[in-house]
Structure 1
Amino acid sequence: MKNETLGDRIRLRRKSLQLTQKQLAQQVKVSHVAISQWEKEETLPRGENLLRLAEALGCAPSYLIDGDGPVFSEISWAGLHQVPLLAQRDLAQWLSDTRSVRYEKLMHNDMALSQQSFAFRVEEQAMSPAILREDVVIIDPCLAPQPGDCVLAMQQQNALLRTWRQRGSENGVAQFELAPVNINFPELHSGRDSLKLIGTLVELRRFRQP
């Protein structure tokens, strides 16, 4: 487009990725009003907002500014799914009402996951050194665990990552154990520890610390 503006480029990239203004705002960590103002060029994204906006839209900041920077091709984005990255403190609320939680950002994943899948940043150390604090894990609630899989369970309001072990049934109810990797944490049993199985870990992401 010959007279394409910064606002035009934001809007066109957002629509090409099938994002609403609200969804894009959640990724960039601004209000949806800010996205609307940027697209109308009532205000301009700057600093960290510009960097996060470019990342969310799959392009270089220079593309948004003057139209000359690189842009991911539509083919490279084909087949990617968006998985919300939640704060661990918000997991219980997310499981009861997904619409009430504002998530950190959307992560892209090319696996065949259910629409209920989500990611969160690990805060405890029960699975170290296999899974470390600050690692990001993706959980699929629709995937039944197999023996030895890592699962997410809730104990009251606490989110627990553990290794799943099937342990027969009691009074017709299937029982399981949750085992940590770190020996400083106890094993848990569904028959005595009020556990609710949430889903199975399908991907672990570890980011290099600066």
Structure 2
Amino acid sequence: MKTLGLRIRQKRNEQNITQLQLSKLVGVSHVTVSQWESDTTAPKGENLYKLAQILKTQANWLISGIDSQHESNVVVAPLAPKTKKLPVISHVQAGAWTEAIDYMALGDDIQWEEAPSSVEENAFWLKVIGDSMTAQSGISVPEGSLILVNPNIPAENGSLVVAKLDGTDEVTFKKLVIDAGQKYLKPLNQSYNPLQINGNCRIVGVVTESKYKF
């Protein structure tokens, strides 16, 4: 009789996915996937739901080997996860970010952080470098903070954005200001001067969330 681990391995092989690739797609370690397939541990909750989606099967089938769509007219829908894992990428990687994301190309040592499940798949986390967005009052995003960047949100006046300037390899994090038809990238730290932009800048994405980990 097949076990949960054997069913995971069967579906993984059918999708031509390696254990390492599966671990990155689910957002767990390679060791965890190996333990699942050897029945040392079992996926639960959000991990089980994501695993079933990636392997194009049902969580019920992975657990019991029974396809509920054929055994019953009633199919219990799995609870949608409240969060998803998104990569923390470098400022250089962010400068080349596109909508067609190949997570496998990010490398084995990539860091992953939780984000709201409603965020698009091509969103990413970026670590803030420098103190140009550290303000004495109001909104302040200190160095070392993680910011969630969403490339699908249109940038408007007052948006906090990640932008790439022509002739540079890295991105910068600033506030977009539009005044009398002129556009500026404005630091929140008043010790720094705003930078006027005019066709020499590409907005990579809008920042929707930040967090600081001690």
Counterpart Cα distance in 2 of 1:108 and 1:161: 19
Tell me if 1:153 matches 2:170: no
Aligned to 1:78: 81
In 2: Cα distance, 1:25 partner to 1:145 partner: 30
The CA deviation at 1:81 is 3.9
Q: Which amino acid aligns with 1:125?
A: D
The residue aligned with 1:198 is: 204
Aligned: 1:164 with 2:171? no
Structure-2-length-normalised TM-score: 0.59
Between the two proteins, the alignment pairs up a number of residues equal to 169
Give the unaligned 5+ runs of structure 2. Answer: 49-77
Write the distance in 2 (CA, Å) between the matches of 1:134 and 1:152: 15
**Residue matched to 1:144:** 154
Sequence identity of aligned pairs in percent? 12
Q: CA deviation at 1:138?
A: 0.7
Q: Distance in 2 between the 1:140 and 1:37 partners?
A: 33
Shift in alpha-carbon separation, 1:147–1:80, aligned structure 2, 3 A = same
Is the contact between residue 150 and residue 164 of structure 1 (CA under 8 Å) also seen in structure 2? yes
Residue deviations 1:152-196 (CA, integer Å, cap 9, x gap) = 101221221111111455xxxxx511100123333111128x321
The residue identity in structure 1 corresponding to 2:187 is: P
- Pick closer, same or farther for the CA change 1:167–1:29 going to 2, 3 Å: farther
- Partners of 2:172 and 2:148 in 1: how far apart? 14
The root-mean-square deviation of aligned C-alpha atoms, in Å, is 4.1
Relative to structure 1, is the Cα distance of residues 168 and 196 closer, same or farther in structure 2, using a 3 angstrom cutoff?
farther
- Stretch moving more, 77-86 or 138-147: 77-86
The DSSP-based 3-state class of the residue aligned with 1:98 is coil
